[in-house]
Amino acid sequence: MNWETVIGLEIHTQLATRSKIFSASATRYGAEPNTQANLVDLGFPGVLPVLNGEVVNMAIKFGLATQCEISPRSIFARKNYFYPDLPKGYQISQYELPIVHGGQLEIVLSDGSAKTVRITRAHLEEDAGKSLHEDFHGQTGIDLNRAGTPLLEIVSEPDMRSPGEAVAYMRRIHTLVRYLGISDGNMQEGSFRCDANVSVRKLGSEALGTRTELKNLNSFRFVERAIEVEVERQIDLIEDGGQVIQETRLYDPDRNETRAMRSKEEANDYRYFPDPDLLPIVIDQARIGHIAAGLPELPDAKRKRFIADYELSAYDADVLTASREQAEFYEAVVTGLGGQPKLAANWVMGELSAALNREDLDITASRVSATQLAELLQRIDDKTISGKIAKQVFDALWNDGGEVEAIIEARGLRQISDAGAIEALVDEILEAHPRQVEEYRSGKEKVFGFFVGQVMKQSEGKANPQSVNEILKIKLKS
Amino acid sequence: MHRRTLAQLADDLRSRRCSSYELTTHFLARIERHDPSMNAFVTVTADHALADARAADERRSRGDAGPLDGLPLAHKDIFCTEGVKTSCGSRMLDNFLSPYDATLVARLKDAGTVMLGKTNMDEFAMGSSSESSFYGPVRNPWDLERVPGGSSGGSAAAVAAGLVPAATGTDTGGSIRQPAALCGLTGLKPTYGRVSRYGMIAFASSLDQAGVLTWTAEDAALLLQVMAGFDPRDSTCLEEPVPDYRAGLNASIRGLRIGVPAGFFDAGLEEGNRGAVETALGVLESQGAELVGIELDNLDLSVPVYYVVAPAEASSNLSRFDGVRFGHRTEHAEDLLNLYTRTRGEGFGAEVKRRILTGAYVLSAGYYDAYYLKAQQVRQLISQSFSRAFESVDVIAGPTTPTPAFMLGQKTNDPVAMYLNDIYTIGANLAGLPALSIPCGAVGGLPVGLQLIGPHLAEGVLLNVAHRFQAETDWHQRRPPDFDAENA
């Protein structure tokens, strides 16, 4: 039987504010436990939340970038449940009236085709703290540094039909929130994580199957693998005559399987109600207009512009616009170079990207600047050095710093294009290898490569390969 | 000294007829002597008070004392006070030393007032008799066998018995006005949001408002002047200018239209209370005010609406008392669920549990629409009834309570009878309106209160009417006989 997979994602994005959503505590990651939790975060008697207005601006940015409707009036609600890392016994979230809703986002699939994923809503909420079960000898430690960190929960419609589509969508959102500057998207630190709602149905069926929710997936790879194994599990279950139970499951990456979370007897009733401590969020058109005017160029627009202006392939444009920083770096190289966008793309995606990956650096921390790279590529373009030599210069820049020009001079890497000099080199090589010359002239044209290699070797790679070719051909004919 | 009002004591301090230290010593001595018979205080902060009094006297001798500098008062134990136990009348917080001052406490401290202690109250302000406190019931100084009202019963009893010249309170459904009425005091509940809620332990956030219990409207005006005003730490606090309340006290009330709702004079109102209130309305009429009969639609639904909305919010507000970070924690926890259930089972009293259960129920899936949502809709209608009434009248007047102080234990086993005590006061909370109660008569030696309700932010008008009434009457000067002797 043929099955269709149906996936919807709930992505939790930590908003990049300096202070928490309802208190003045810092949100910096990695501080000593409970050093970034004030009385409001600790839920002390008598304290009250006060909304950090910056999160509203960030949510509006997201809404604008995904063609969502921005609610002129939205409210906070309390989600009530007991847990030690939830200090107030309720989480302040949005329930009935989220700040933005009803948008969409275009994703590009692996075959290059595009697909639209509808966004149901995105709402503001506070994060909980962390329970630490290790190191406390059977007790649980509570770190409330994270309690009250602002989150934007982005909920999609169940529009994705494969794990690959789910990942493509998640990546798009990831790229987008970083473009907008509303989240650092750091997945190791938990700034970007998602829950996946997964179900299967017979191909052609309209009705949705029973879904399970896979909680807290914090890498693209885990999202893909978790959904894959969950889909397999559901199909096997149904084909064996069983039924999928609506439940929350956890993905175990070590065993590559999903497991039902140990849940208490009852279904949770969160007793949502409007939070009486907070006023409704009221947003007028002027505020939306002001924010819209300040939006950066979005990934989609940038990708299309790269294809049009720089004549890049869809693939190259996609890779280069994956982050705003990378796209900016690339454009700075092209500007410095004064053209040659394909050459710049090859280098940014090739040599530079490899070097960054080797040292696990972000492009903003690149040891070769866009200006330096542009200078280097210019030297290739004006035939001062060959591409191969340029890699040497790049390595020198990367490892020891310095000026492109100075490195070329100091190391004597300047390309030899002078016909006379190359002729001398060619003569020298032909004279030294009379047997090979004989072979070539008797029809074994394959030895031509041997001569090129020898000349290049003799010139320490500096001879202009094109000139070498031309001169060799002439000399061998004569 | 204890027969003088706050305003008179302020004059005494200004003219150096007495020092803050003398005042403080005098009232502390009265607390020591008389409080055991009424249990108005949970905590007496004698050492702090004497030190603060000396500091106030020093400021005065340097010539930089503010208008309230050196005046003693007490805070309801619902307000967080730095380094001082803040129990909210509950075993749950019996061991809780607040690490910070409530905004209201800080403002009164900055004004130089001297806190003598923290007053007893119904547990988490849930009650109308001050009998649900973990620290035992408060007694009414007019008759020690009777309740002082609640939940600010400790504050009311302390001021009425002359143990302190004024005290703060909170009013969620009548918790300032009802005890003020039952103890013969002036009790002011300002407009919702007029006074910051920061540091006031939440019962029902959309209804809670801090205010004062004093002898006179003038004293209430003095204190409100300092307490009112915007606080960036409370999102629901109003960003509105604070008028000079004392300046308007003496304005004429000629031509003032006073709405008298027929529904306030229903069968539940005892004859003695009815008579006292009608006489009081006559006094206002004789001063040139015009009495206008009005109807307030849906006001009869205010008690049921209140007992849905308030417990709903309370059930959530009280979730933070879980034994994890502060307050009581059970010694018998075997697992997490146990930690919660035992801690809360031991820490909360019966009335608090009743309201948490009620609140959780009305918010539950399947019941939310029928109870909570419906109650909020009716609340809107009640609010609109008041708004309509204030299109044609300036203030609304009527009884504060249906009866004078009742006997201790009389209503503890009948929650509904207890809840009906708040039948006249709850409307103002639901609509967020300012309201006050002033003594206006007596029945069998027990005080009766007249309630005045005003439109949004009309505290000045209410205080003006109350002050004019007090200029013509002496009910506010009567003291419980057993505690009245000058040298007692």
Residue B383 is a catalytic residue: no
Q: What pLDDT, on the 0 to 100 scale, is given for residue A139?
A: 82
Q: Return the closest-CA partner of residue B151 out of B402, B439, B352, B430.
A: B352
- Find the angle CA(B479)-CA(B482)-CA(B485) to the nearest 5 degrees: 75
Q: Are residues A281 and A429 in the same domain?
A: no
Q: Residue A152's closest CA among A183, A119, A130, A179?
A: A183
User: What span, in angstroms and rounded, lies between the C-alpha atoms of B419 and B411?
Assistant: 9
Name the residue type at position A74.
Answer: S
Please, which residues bridge with residue B450 across strands? B399, B438
Dihedral of the CA atoms A402, A408, A413, A415 (nearest 10)?
Answer: 140
> Residues near B137 by Cβ (< 8 Å), separated by ≥ 6?
B39, B129, B130, B131, B147, B408
Task: Please report the residues numbered 249 through 278 in chain A whose beta carbons come closer than 8 angstroms to any beta carbon of chain B.
Answer: 269, 271-273, 276-278
Q: Which two tokens stand for residue B49?
A: 């008070």
Residues in chain B with CB shorter than 8 Å from the CB of A39 are 99-100
The residue of chain A nearest to residue B317, with distances taken between CA atoms, is A88
Instruction: Name which of A43, A48, A78 is nearest B233 (Cβ-Cβ).
Output: A48
CA distance B224 to B466: 15
Query: Coil, helix or strand for A331?
Result: helix
Residue in A closest to B206 by C-alpha: A276
**DSSP state string for A170-217:** HHHHHHHHHHTTS----TTTTSEEEEEEEEEEETT--SPPPPEEEEEE
Q: Measured between CB atoms, does A48 come within 8 Å of chain B?
A: yes
- DSSP, res A151: E
Alpha helices in B318-414 (DSSP H): 336-347, 350-363, 374-389
User: Which run of H or of E encompasses B423?
Assistant: none
Work out the minimum CA distance from A36 to partner chain B, whole angstroms: 16
CB contacts, 8 Å: A82 with chain B: 319, 322, 340
What local confidence, expressed as pLDDT, does residue B486 receive? 64
- Residue B250: exposure state from Cβ atoms within 10 A (0-12, 13-18, ≥19): exposed
Residues of A in contact with B192 (CB under 8 A): none
CB contact under 8 A, B235 and A87: no
Within its chain, how far is the Cα of A44 from the centroid? 39
Say whether B76 is catalytic. yes
* Nearest-CB residue to B199 (from A46, A87, A273): A46
Nearby residues of A319 by Cβ (< 8 Å), 6 or more positions away: A349
User: For A18-69, what is each residue's pLDDT tens digit?
Assistant: 999 999 999 998 899 999 999 999 999 999 999 999 999 999 999 999 999 9
Catalytic residue among B129, B133, B151, B155: B151
Are A257 and A307 members of one domain? no
CA B127 to chain CA mean position, Å: 12
Domain span at residue A61?
3-288
Residues A158 and A57 in one domain: yes
Q: Nearest CA to B351 among B406, B303, B414? A: B414
- What CATH fold (topology level) applies to the domain B6-260+390-483? Amidase signature (AS) enzymes (3.90.1300)
- Residue among A78, A87, A269 minimizing CB distance to B364: A269
Q: Is A434 within 8 Å of chain B by CB?
A: no
Q: Across the strands, what pairs with A152? A: A13, A124
Q: Hunting for tokens 């001021």 — which residue is that?
A: B159
Query: Which long-range contacts does B418-423 make (Cβ < 8 Å, 24+ apart)?
Result: B418/B127, B418/B128, B418/B129, B419/B128, B419/B303, B419/B307, B420/B268, B420/B303, B421/B128, B421/B129, B421/B149, B421/B174, B421/B178, B422/B128, B422/B173, B422/B174, B422/B178, B422/B303, B422/B306, B423/B268, B423/B302, B423/B303
B416: exposed, middle or buried (C-beta count within 10 Å: 0-12, 13-18, 19+)? exposed
Q: How far apart are CA B170 and CA B151, in angstroms?
A: 8
Query: Tell me, what's the pLDDT at A119?
Result: 98
Is B175 catalytic? The answer is yes
**Does any CB of chain A come closer than 8 Å to the CB of residue B197?**
yes
Q: Provide the residue ranges of all domains of chain B, joining segments of one domain with +.
A: 6-260+390-483
User: How many Cα neighbours within 13 Å face the side chain of A336?
Assistant: 19
Contacts of A271 in chain B (CB under 8 A): 315-316, 360, 363-365, 368
Amino acid code (one letter) for B268:
G
Q: What is the per-residue DSSP string for A432-443?
A: H-HHHHHHHHTT
Written as six digits, the tokens of A470 are: 């031309």
Residue with tokens 């504050």: B155
Active-site position among B175, B196, B302, B385:
B175
Judgement on whether residues A250 and A321 belong to the same structural domain of the protein = no
Answer for the pair B203, B310: CB distance below 8 angstroms, yes or no: yes
Does A45 sit within 8 Å of B88, measured CB to CB? yes
Q: Does residue A89 belong to the interface with chain B, where contact is any CB pair within 8 Å?
A: yes
> Would you state the pLDDT for residue A438?
85
What is the spatial distance between Cα B200 and Cα A352, in angstroms, rounded to a whole number?
A: 59
Per annotation, catalytic residue among B20, B76, B118, B132: B76
Please state, as a whole number, how many other Cβ atoms lie within 10 Å of the Cβ of residue B288: 12
Residues A387 and A426 placed together within one structural domain of the fold: no
When pLDDT is cut at 50, 70 and 90, the band that residue A263 belongs to is low
Query: Smallest CA–CA separation between B237 and chain A, in Å?
Result: 10
pLDDT tens-digit map of A193-209: 999 999 999 999 999 99
Give yes or no for residue A316 having a pLDDT over 80. Answer: yes
Q: How far apart are CA B5 and CA B162, in angstroms?
A: 10
- The DSSP H or E segment spanning A387 is helix A387-400
pLDDT at B433: 98
A29-37 contact pairs (CB < 8 A, 24+): A29/A186, A29/A189, A29/A191, A30/A189, A31/A145, A33/A132, A33/A141, A33/A143, A33/A145, A34/A142, A34/A143, A34/A144, A34/A145, A35/A145, A36/A145, A37/A129, A37/A144, A37/A145, A37/A147, A37/A148
Q: What's the rounded Cα separation, in Å, for the pair A200 and B163?
A: 74
Radius of gyration of chain B (CA): 21
Query: Where do runs of H (alpha helix) occur along A218-313?
Result: 220-239, 285-293, 299-310
Tell me, yes or no, if B97 comes closer than 8 A to chain A by beta carbon.
no
Same domain, A270 and A352: no
A321: left (phi over 0), alpha (psi -120 to 50) or beta: alpha
Indicate if A361 and A432 belong to the same structural domain: no
Nearest to A277 among B205, B312, B320 (CB): B205
**Rounded Cα gap, residues B416 and B413, in angstroms:** 9
A163 shares its domain with A235 = yes
| Helix extents (H) in B17-129 | 20-38, 46-62, 103-110
Per-residue pLDDT of chain B (488 residues), as tens digits, is 888 999 999 999 999 999 999 999 999 999 999 999 999 999 999 999 999 999 999 999 999 999 999 999 999 999 999 999 999 999 999 999 999 999 999 999 999 999 999 999 999 999 999 999 999 999 999 999 999 999 999 999 999 999 999 999 999 999 999 999 999 999 999 999 999 999 999 999 999 999 999 999 999 999 999 999 999 999 999 999 999 999 999 999 999 999 999 999 988 899 999 999 999 999 999 999 999 999 999 999 999 999 999 999 999 999 999 999 999 999 988 899 999 999 999 999 999 999 999 999 999 999 999 999 999 999 999 999 999 999 999 999 999 999 999 999 998 888 888 888 889 999 999 999 999 999 999 999 999 999 999 999 999 999 999 999 999 999 999 999 989 876 65
The SS3 assignment for A44 reads coil
Q: What domain count does chain A have? A: 3
Rounded Cα distance between B318 and B312, Å, is 10
Inspect the interface and report whether the beta carbons of A273 and B312 lie closer than 8 Å: yes
Residue A88, chain B, CB below 8 Å: the answer is yes
For residue B460 the two structure tokens come to: 């000045």
* Span between the terminal Cα atoms of chain A, in Å: 73
pLDDT for the residue B421: 83
B80 contact partners, CB below 8 Å, separation of at least 6? A45, A46, B86, B98, B100, B101, B102, B105, B199, B200, B201
User: Which one, of B401, B427, B181, B436, lies nearest residue B274 by Cα?
Assistant: B401
A264 pLDDT band (50/70/90 cuts)?
A: very low
Cα–Cα distance for residue pair A87/A147, rounded to 1 Å:
8
User: How much of chain A, in percent, has pLDDT values that exceed 70?
Assistant: 98
**One domain for residues A117 and A260:** yes
Cα–Cα nearest to A13, from A296, A218, A291, A196:
A218
Torsion over CA: A213, A216, A221, A226 (sign): negative
Q: CB of A79 within 8 Å of any CB in chain B?
A: no
pLDDT band at residue A437, thresholds of 50, 70 and 90?
confident
Q: In the structure, what pLDDT confidence band is assigned to residue A396 with cuts at 50, 70 and 90?
A: very high
B199 Cβ under 8 Å from any chain A Cβ:
yes
Q: Give the nearest partner residue to A88 out of B234, B235, B320, using CB atoms.
A: B320
pLDDT in tens, A82-133: 999 999 999 999 999 999 999 999 998 878 788 999 999 999 999 999 988 8
Nearest-Cα distance to chain A for B330, in Å, is 15
Cβ pair B364:A271 closer than 8 A: yes
Chain A residues inside the 8 Å CB shell of B93: 45
Q: How many CB atoms lie within 10 A of CB A181?
A: 13
Residues A302 and A194 in one domain: no
